[in-house]
Structure 1
Amino acid sequence: MNIKKLGLTAFVAIVSALVAVSAYKYLDNKYNPVSFEQRQASSHFAQVNYDPMPSAGLTDFRYAAKITTPGVVHIKTSYAPRQASRNDQANPFRDFFGDDFNPFGQPFQQQPSESSGSGVIISDDGYIVTNNHVIDKGDKIQVILADKKTYEAKVIGTDASTDLALIKIDEDNLPFISFGNSDSISVGEWVLAVGNPFNLESTVTAGIVSAKGRNINIIGRESRDRGQSNDAIEAYIQTDAAVNPGNSGGALVDTRGALIGINSAIATPTGTFAGYSFAVPVNIVKKVVNDLMKFGVVQRGFLGVSIATVTDDLAKAKHLDNLNGVYIDSVNSGSAASAAGLKHGDVITKINNSMVNTSPELQEQVSRYHPGDKISVTYLREGKEKTADVVLKNREGNTEYIKKEEVSSQATLEALGAEFTELNDKEKKDLGLNGGVKVIKLNDGILSRNTSIREGFIITKLGDRNINSVNDLKNALASKKGGVMMEGRYPDFPGQYYYAFGL
């Protein structure tokens, strides 16, 4: 009898303990949610049956391939069809008045289009990093996992300056790849590229790191061609691992399976792999991803200088003692560098004790910090080494964090492809206007492509909103989508003019 009672008591005690532990874990997870950093530190790896560290002198990629392929996904981006006229495919009036407006010919339906790429799962709850160009302006984004399950993804944020994007699917307990350290990777070290080239399932290729800190002038090339501002950060890891169309957004990993980069571009005359590929270093990826998660937009700090890599020709022309460092060609007024006392002709050699010998290396180091962060800048002036503490500023010239809406409205303004200025008091008086924004220069963009607007046009109204300043124009554009009607006048011509275009 005593034995039965003892057994029953023990059983009750065990059940009670299990219930208590389960309740604790539930409440702990509910009120102390696991951060992204904690999730990254506890990767969900695939099961492997052999030693992750191969014997000395042998190169074995099986371990890295096994644990990383489940964490790389295939991404399909769909673009909805648009109706267009055979005689006027870029008809701005249809953008404004709708698809039924077509006085120029019979409409026809363009075919829906689709592009594809790769992505890397970076947390077990469905966050995925990829290239911005893989999902940019897509109407629908599908993610296909290694086990062939398909999900629709939502965009968390994008960063055109680094060609990175963060998307998310609704799923838990996913395998993912842990961040490595791209600073510690060396030229000559073996790496693996994991992706989905040519719409194939996960493909692994191997190569070595050929170079670091490469700038190939590919990001923002379109913005530069249009004369728009460009804050592109290119400090690529160059490898000879085969990367082809569809690999964009895939993983570059070391032989331990740690993520060291996001594959982004290839150097090719044919559109397929021709020897070299380029990946965004994971130390840039980390910062971009964390900012997109927290703010929806990247909070980037700027020195506010124009720079050039010190070459032999530059050193001779500027009478520099050696070829180390990055030359300051000019310092912007009111910038972080100006406030810290940096001047034209100084040569920056270190950022927070990290050596910088090229412009991309300097950009990569500074890009890791936020507005308001203080960094140590070591530089040479007239051959003497000096150090300055620099408090970085944002693009607007202050230390505040910017809002996602502000970035979006600025991007829309730049997409118009024009430079604007506000009317001065004399112009307002001569024209009998309370205010307005003048188009002083037209570049390639929405206005030049879709309207007959000319330089000198004064915008006085956008939709039903009066425009008295560039800020008014920015705010009005932020709330617009689809058809937009712009109203205004020319200084030397009577009457009002109207221009319609689509956003």
Structure 2
Amino acid sequence: MKKVSSLLLVAIFAGAITLGSYKLFFEHQNFAIVASDSEAKTFNTNFTPTSPKGAGINEVDFTLAAENTVNAVVHVKNMTLSSGGPTSLRDLFYGQGGSQRAQIGTGSGVIISSDGYIVTNNHVIAGAAKLQVTLNNNRNYDAEVIGSDANTDIALLKIDAEDKLPYLAFGDSDNTKIGEWVLAVGNPFNLTSTVTAGIVSAKARDLNMGRNQSFIQTDAAVNPGNSGGALVNTNGDLVGINTAISSQTGSYVGYSFAVPSNIAKKIVDDILEYGNVKKGYLGISAVNTKSREAFENGINETSGVYVGSVENGLGADEAGIVPGDIIKKVDNIKIRKFPDLTGYLSTKRPGDEVSVTIERDGKNKILPVVLKERKSLTVPVMGLEVKNLTEKERRLFNTQKGVRVVDVPERYKGYGLEGKVIIEIDGEDINTIEDADKLFRRLSGNGRNSITLLDENGERERLIFQ
């Protein structure tokens, strides 16, 4: 018993020596230094739940939107006829034209109704002698142009199919958000049913194409042949019609642009209801924020549209908007720059009332404005400002057709155009400023064009421009 007790004491003593040696020679103590500091130290922590798939693109499912879209996007083939050069000495000496050559252009389109209405770009179908549409199931149909609008680059086609067709519903493009995922569906390089993905990079983008347009910018890959195709969100709603790319090579380099669906829908509705496009005008011109005057007066730093002038007799004038006002909001749409304003107003018609929030003398004021049909416009190519004739002017010039020239750019001042009435361009009658806009767009920069005018004595003049 005594021997067992001795062994136990030796064991306890040896254990104590071992533990003490470890504490002394091997274990290093950790010290936490607490200091008094008046500034609290903070750490940014993200409490967003994570997914084993990873955040972002892996959690977005494009398959349903793509599946619903590809069957509603079509291939559009445009055949135009161009005259070739003389093919014989007889043609050369007697001025007879050579044989006509067929040229084929291609693009895309979007079916918007089960009975075969298709929206595409105006430039896809321009000058067509024949249009053919190919569905995703490879069926071909001849297409008819119902109407088009060169200003917004939107056209409406119709095909007669045996069965009801798959189609896309217009979404609300005003609700699209920067950073939102979108799909571009079309037929680039004559390939059918191609789907690319990207995000909305910007809204209300102006490409300075002379159309006061307001585009949705995306980084979804768009190439030649995609024009007229669909831009859809992840729900499969049509939020835009793909129209243009920004590229020095003609192929995609990271920027593509689409006509917002709200604008496209309004154009389609106008064509179906009225046969042409009705546009409601506010009646203001904006100060160019990049001008020297704007820079010197601090206007270039203004968020909103700075009103430079107000057109007499239009909605803004009657509502009391004056030069110097800053338009900050129209209805529920915030206005940061001019394309925000023109883009929203492009969805409106004459007679529509909008609520315009302006800033005047540092205070906000809300004014109801009734949009009106514009009485004058600046025609493309020549830049003449023309207006519809009043009844008094019709009697003065003894004509029931034509538009009056009210302003002339400097380069045409010597032709005596101001104050006269243009009644024909290349033999085609002009009745309204819309007719003038359409016919002036057709003027060739390389050929001869004739303009027929009337002076105040009712005498006709014919000018040839080359």
TM-score (norm 2): 0.70
On the 8 A contact 1:310/1:324 being kept in 2, the answer is no
Match of 1:148 among 114, 138, 145: 138
Greater shift, 312-321 or 339-348, is seen at: 312-321
On the 8 A contact 1:438/1:459 being kept in 2, the answer is yes
Larger Cα-atom Rg: 2
What's the CA shift for 1:461?
9.1
Q: Does 1:214 align with 2:193?
A: no
Name the CA distance, whole Å, in 1 between partners of 2:198 and 2:289: 30
What is the letter of the counterpart of residue 124 of structure 1?
A: S
Q: Which 4+ stretches in 1 moved above 4 angstroms?
A: 54-57, 83-87, 100-106, 308-316, 319-322, 413-422, 433-443, 456-463, 469-472, 483-490, 496-501
Match of 1:393 among 365, 372, 383: 372
Measured at CA, do residues 291 and 322 of structure 1 come closer, stay the same or move farther in structure 2, by a change above 3 Å? Answer: same
Which residues of 2 match residues 39-438 of structure 1 at below 5 A?
58-82=59-83, 105=95, 107-171=97-161, 172-218=163-209, 220=210, 232-308=211-287, 317-318=296-297, 323-396=302-375
What's the CA shift for 1:233?
3.8
Q: How many residues align?
A: 382
**Secondary structure in 1 aligned to 2:281?**
coil
Measured at CA, do residues 420 and 327 of structure 1 come closer, stay the same or move farther in structure 2, by a change above 3 Å? Answer: closer
What's the CA shift for 1:352?
1.0
Name the CA distance, whole Å, in 2 between partners of 1:312 and 1:276: 27
On the 8 A contact 2:72/2:167 being kept in 1, the answer is yes
Name the CA distance, whole Å, in 1 between partners of 2:462 and 2:292: 53
On the 8 A contact 1:309/1:357 being kept in 2, the answer is no
Name the CA distance, whole Å, in 1 between partners of 2:282 and 2:371: 6
Name the CA distance, whole Å, in 2 between partners of 1:438 and 1:104: 40
Measured at CA, do residues 302 and 311 of structure 1 come closer, stay the same or move farther in structure 2, by a change above 3 Å? Answer: same
On the 8 A contact 2:403/2:432 being kept in 1, the answer is no
On the 8 A contact 2:79/2:103 being kept in 1, the answer is yes
On the 8 A contact 1:86/1:105 being kept in 2, the answer is no
Name the CA distance, whole Å, in 1 between partners of 2:57 and 2:382: 59
What's the CA shift for 1:310?
5.8
**Secondary structure in 2 aligned to 1:361?**
helix
Name the CA distance, whole Å, in 2 between partners of 1:203 and 1:282: 20
On the 8 A contact 1:350/1:377 being kept in 2, the answer is yes
Measured at CA, do residues 279 and 460 of structure 1 come closer, stay the same or move farther in structure 2, by a change above 3 Å? Answer: closer
Name the CA distance, whole Å, in 1 between partners of 2:91 and 2:405: 28
**Secondary structure in 1 aligned to 2:192?**
coil
- CA displacement 1:405-462 (0-9 Å, x = unmatched): xxxxx99x8678867899xxxxxxxxxx98999999999xxxx9xxxxx934899997
What's the CA shift for 1:299?
1.0
Measured at CA, do residues 163 and 460 of structure 1 come closer, stay the same or move farther in structure 2, by a change above 3 Å? Answer: closer
On the 8 A contact 2:423/2:454 being kept in 1, the answer is no
Name the CA distance, whole Å, in 1 between partners of 2:151 and 2:408: 23
What's the CA shift for 1:323?
3.1
Name the CA distance, whole Å, in 2 between partners of 1:440 and 1:303: 20
Which residues of 2 match residues 451-490 of structure 1 at below 5 A?
455-456=415-416
Name the CA distance, whole Å, in 2 between partners of 1:177 and 1:78: 26
What is the letter of the counterpart of residue 193 of structure 2?
A: S
- CA displacement 1:85-130 (0-9 Å, x = unmatched): 599xxxxxxxxxxxx9975656422421121100000010001000
Name the CA distance, whole Å, in 1 between partners of 2:203 and 2:144: 32
TM-score (norm 1): 0.65
What is the letter of the counterpart of residue 324 of structure 1?
A: S
Paired residue for 2:38? Answer: none
Name the CA distance, whole Å, in 1 between partners of 2:134 and 2:179: 33
Measured at CA, do residues 153 and 329 of structure 1 come closer, stay the same or move farther in structure 2, by a change above 3 Å? Answer: same
Measured at CA, do residues 273 and 471 of structure 1 come closer, stay the same or move farther in structure 2, by a change above 3 Å? Answer: closer
On the 8 A contact 2:84/2:101 being kept in 1, the answer is no
Name the CA distance, whole Å, in 2 between partners of 1:141 and 1:157: 14
On the 8 A contact 2:314/2:374 being kept in 1, the answer is no
